[in-house]
Structure 1
Amino acid sequence: MFGRNNIGIMILGTIFLLLLASCTGGDSTTEPIVEALVPTNLNLDITIVGSDTNNPNGDGSGLIQCTATATNAVRYGFKIGNEAEQESTNGIFDYKFTSTGENSHVVSVFAYSSTGNMISAFKTITVYVSDETGLVWADEFDSDGAVLTSNWFSEEVPPENGSWYNGEQQHYTSRTDNAYVSNGTLKIVAKKENYTAYNSTKNYTSARLNSKFTFTYGRIEVRAKLPGGGGTWPAIWTLGSDITTVGWPSCGEIDIMEHVGNNVGEVSSAIHTPSSFGNTVNKGIIEIPDTTTEFHVYAVDWTADKMDFYVDDTLFYTYNPASKNSDTWPFNKDQFILLNIAMGGTLGGTINPNFTEDTMEIDYVRVYQ
């Protein structure tokens, strides 16, 4: 026989079981645990088109073909140097380099799983790109001394009552103090000094070189290291040869490279035409952090259809107006090249009071057609 105590214990036990059942009933749900899936066995194969025993770095086309495979990968991403990652679902990726000569490049691949996990690998390759379009004009700056007057004209006369446009603060000179060649490079030097010319005294001097060579269409490459002093405004650009008859901006302006010492590392390219000029909407920007400490190749491919702007092998801006007319495309006739450092002005900004001098160093200027 059970006593009262045993009956009480049974009742309490029953109540506990009912409460436990209510807390763990069928209405509750538990999220499934998804186990991370990590790709493995990543392999990257790169074929340089035309590579053989005699031409280990390719046939000059600059083409490479990449194939990546990995266990548990559902997609891949490829990067050339510091360019943006480009997606490939099948692990196949083709690329064309454009900088002429033999150059080393880092090719990276990223393999992603269905759960978003990633592994990566990279290879460094050397690719040869021939001068297949034809080198038609160049200055390699291999003769020490003054700038070659057969190639360049030093523009000195300020157009606005003793001053240059854009509120710039320099006088341009033809002195070797401001432009000279040594050890295989051209140096354009901006200096802080009082200098009087054309009934005007300025606190800074520099140089502005215009090429005597003019051309229509082609690829312009300039390998340069830029100044970084606050207030410097170096530029590599072109103007229409008919500027003296039609004026600016009707002549057209192609800014291949502009840089501001107050914002080191930001490189821009721009187009000025009657449709948009000055603070133009036609502009591209790229970040190159070591632009003042390392040489880079600044280039534009100018055709009858469009203009592509590059730093090294990175395409970062294309100008290709849908309607091409005299307002948007005055680029069907000759242009000449300009190299200069301006000081201050609308883009150069405030000049560092401690500025004394800074240099744009140019390894070469080349034009291909």
Structure 2
Amino acid sequence: MMGNNVLLQFSKNNQFSKILFFIALANFFYLFSCSGNNNVGDVAIMVPSNLAISATLDGSNAQNPNGDGSGTVNINISATNATSYKILLGNGETKELTNGNLTYTYTTAGTNTYVIYVSAYNSGHFVSSTLSLTVFVGSSLVWSDEFNIDGAPDSSKWGYDLGAGGWGNNESQYYTNRTENVIIQNGFLKIKTIKENFSGSNYTSARILSKDKFSFKYGRVEIRARLPFGGGTWPALWMLGNNVSTAGWPACGEIDMMEHVGNELNKIHGTLHSPGRSGNSPDTGTVLISNVATEFHIYSIDWSATSIKFYVDNQLFYTFSNASSFPFNQNFFLIINSAMGGGFGGSIDPNFISSTFEVDYVRVYN
């Protein structure tokens, strides 16, 4: 009997020990989950924590605290339990990473401060933080055409718009790619508008563009040019958003760096078109200068995420406040043309025979 009692007592004690073990195990998982973990099914998800961000600028030192002008920054991120990261770089661009290292180059010239927003993720759980970074980017030439080789425009840089009507502007010219209308001679691009009957139009001219060959987002554009003269002439140096073929106009955005109409001699227009702010209600500024048809002048813009500034001979005459709600934060391509008449060019002088729009160079800086 004593042996059976001992065996029975041992069995009871063993069952009790098992119960205590499972209670302790349950408490452990309860406490573990309450300490910052989540379960999906039977898998414990570790919530990211301890997010740390650091950044170093290339060439940064005591004399150049904001970098050497290259705009290159090395960003390092770490977080406990993180499996991926998302970085908002403060200039409209976003990067997603599976590790915490990113080398990125800012391109907007000048000294600019960016607030970098970083999130560390694990299965939908995340933790976020920010870092403010001031970056100096020196200006450098990123694209140009000096028009130094006689003949047709460089086909690696320019294509043509061909046809009549001005694509909705009711213009009177027919755009061609003939050497009579567009040629490079003696270091200048020459677009010649001619009074002649051609394919049903009374005038011919040319329109060249860098679409599908070169485009850019933000920077400085400089164009040195001498404008044509005569009532009805309408030369322009301008840009359209790369998505014009899909978004259409004005959703793609239009930046008119320089427009001039011969019926208002020496009055330079700088204009932007966007949804709700186009046609007869654009954002625009004007300036009167002298001798547009007899002397060369430099027409330029400074374009950034916050502003677009218009200049003639480096004198500011109009500033537009840019924002993310406008279409002026994407790549644009360049256009050079000389139209006749239409809704903006106005009435054409019946005595007009021909006139030439000359461009010395086009230069784009970061």
TM-score, length basis structure 1: 0.60
Runs of 5+ in structure 2 lacking a partner? 1-108, 110-136
Matches within 5 A, 1:179-218: 179-196=182-199, 201-211=200-210, 212-218=213-219
Q: Deviations over 1:282-336 (max 9, x none)?
A: 1000001211111000001011111010001100000005x641xxx10111100
Aligned amino acid, residue 319 of structure 1? F
Q: What is the deviation of 1:281?
A: 3.8
Aligned residue for 1:53? none
- Code of the residue aligned with 1:236 in structure 2: it is L
* Gap runs ≥5 in structure 1: 1-97, 99-130
| Corresponding residue number in structure 2 for 1:154 | 160
What does 1:115-194 align with in structure 2 at a 5 Å threshold? Answer: 132-158=138-164, 164-194=167-197
Partner of 2:52: none
Q: How does 1:164-313 map to 2 (within 5 A)?
A: 164-196=167-199, 201-211=200-210, 212-313=213-314
- Give the structure 2 partner of residue 51 of structure 1: none
The structure 1 segments of at least 4 consecutive aligned residues displaced by more than 4 Å after TM superposition are none
Query: How many aligned positions are there?
Result: 229
Q: Distance in 2 between matches of 1:182 and 1:132?
A: 33
Distance 1:283 1:172, change over 3 A: same
Between the aligned partners of 1:188 and 1:279, the Cα distance in structure 2 is 28
Q: Is this contact kept in 2: 1:172–1:205, CA < 8 A?
A: yes
- Corresponding position: 1:363 with 2:366: no
Quote the Cα distance in structure 2 between the aligned partners of 1:192 and 1:355.
7
Alignment partners' CA distance in 2, 1:182 and 1:157: 24
- Residue 144 of structure 1, CA deviation: 0.7
* Partner SS, residue 150 of structure 2: coil
What is the alpha-carbon distance in structure 1 between the residues aligned to residue 277 and residue 283 of structure 2?
A: 7
Amino acid at match of 1:345: G
Matched residue SS, 2:194:
strand
The RMSD of aligned alpha carbons is 1.6
**Does structure 2 conserve the Cα–Cα contact (< 8 Å) formed by 1:224 and 1:362?**
yes
For 1:166, what is the secondary structure of its paired residue?
Answer: coil
- Counting only pairs closer than 5 Å after superposition, residues 325-336 of structure 1 correspond to structure 2 as 325=325, 329-336=326-333
Equivalent position of 1:121 in the other structure:
none
How far off its partner does 1:191 sit?
0.5
Q: Secondary structure at the match of 1:213?
A: coil
SS at match of 1:310: strand
Q: Is the 8 A contact 1:270 1:280 kept in 2?
A: no
Amino acid at match of 1:181: I
Aligned with 2:263: secondary structure?
helix
- For 1:206, give the aligned amino acid: S
Q: Give the AA of the match of 2:205.
A: S
The separation in 2 between residues aligned to 1:363 and 1:188, in whole angstroms, is: 12
Amino acid corresponding to residue 184 of structure 1 in structure 2: G
Cα contact 1:267–1:287 (8 A) shared by 2: yes
Aligned mates of 1:183, 1:224 — CA distance in 2: 14
SS in 2 for 1:271: strand
8 Å contact from structure 2 (residues 287, 317) kept in 1: yes
The whole-number CA distance in structure 1 between the counterparts of 2:281 and 2:359 is 27
Is the contact between residue 300 and residue 314 of structure 2 (CA under 8 Å) also seen in structure 1?
Answer: no
> Does the 8 Å CA contact 1:271/1:280 hold for their aligned counterparts?
no
Say whether the 8 Å CA contact 1:242–1:251 is kept in structure 2. yes
Q: Which amino acid aligns with 2:330?
A: K
Q: Is the 8 A contact 2:231 2:262 kept in 1?
A: yes
- State the one-letter code of the partner of 2:151: G
Q: Percent identity?
A: 51
Q: Do the aligned residues in 1 keep the contact of 2:341 with 2:347 (CA within 8 Å)?
A: yes
